[in-house]
Copies of this chain bind each other. A is one copy, B any other.
Amino acid sequence: MTNNTKKKAVILLSGGIDSYTTAAMAINDRFQVCAISFDYGQRHKYELGSAKKVAEFLGIRNHLTIKLDLRQIGGSALTDNIEVPKNQPLENIGNEIPVTYVPARNTIFLSIALGYAETVGASHIFIGANAVDYSGYPDCRPKYLEAFEKMANLATKATVEGSQINISAPLLNMSKSEIIQKGQKLGLDYSLTISCYDPPENGQACGNCESCLLRKKGFIEAGIKDPTNYFNTSEKN
């Protein structure tokens, strides 16, 4: 199949495990992939370096980074002067929507991806949303993603003219360990990724935020060595 006949997809690429694995799965499914990342004023801007590395690893040539300062809106530990919680009991994660929730973030990112998909002629938008080992964000839930897809199919010139846009979240019902195992089968190098919400200045991972805790748990449960460079080496699994 040549590039001209391949189905096109836009991937939301953060630089973490989930979006990297999602992108690899889309490529494995023979999609021609364009990636989009967001420099949105996030505390963990280091992730943009990881997004660049994983795009290169996967051979993604079209990788757009959109600058959008969500600190102007705030309301989150990731974009405002609110402390990132540390060392929570794992069983509490996902029970309540935490302060790391960024107001309307997935809606904003998917909307911009929708515009990008239209200009490149993509039929699919892939998002690494997960509703198992996740923080409890409302905009990762299946019913939210379904509603976004319905809206998107009424929003654009392309859809009025008969195209369909599909919101694909292949990790939705997978645990973090299943995601990591899937990525290992696809030959991914997770040392390129960063999940940490509150990385120390040197770009290592803190090891204690909810995102680091879920990542550690995933590697342990997958029985795969965690390649993460944690700030405090005693925090390594």
Residues from 126 to 177 in A contacting B, C-beta threshold 8 Å:
138-139, 141, 143-144, 147-148, 150-152, 154-157, 159-160
Chain B residues within 8 Å of A155, by CB? 104, 106-107, 138-139, 144, 147-148
Looking at A103, A114, A138, A150, the one whose CB has the most chain B CB atoms below 10 A away is: A103
Chain B residues within 8 Å of A111, by CB? 104, 107-108, 110-111
> Does A101 make an interface contact (CB < 8 A)?
yes
Residues from 198 to 217 in A contacting B, C-beta threshold 8 Å:
none
> Does A94 make an interface contact (CB < 8 A)?
no
> Does A68 make an interface contact (CB < 8 A)?
yes
> Does A235 make an interface contact (CB < 8 A)?
no
Chain B residues within 8 Å of A114, by CB? 103-104, 107-108
Report the bound CA distance from A151 to B139 in whole Å: 10
Check if A157 sits within 8 Å of B101, measured CB to CB: yes
Check if A154 sits within 8 Å of B147, measured CB to CB: yes
Residues from 83 to 124 in A contacting B, C-beta threshold 8 Å:
97, 101-108, 110-112, 114-116, 118-119
Q: Which 9 residue pairs across A and B have the least CB separation, nearest first?
A: A104-B115, A75-B119, A103-B115, A147-B151, A103-B118, A111-B111, A104-B114, A144-B154, A107-B111
**6 A-B interface contacts by CB (under 8 A):** A75-B118, A75-B119, A102-B115, A138-B156, A141-B154, A144-B151
Q: Which residues from chain A sit less than 8 Å from chain B, CB to CB?
A: 64, 66-70, 72-75, 97, 101-108, 110-112, 114-116, 118-119, 138-139, 141, 143-144, 147-148, 150-152, 154-157, 159-160
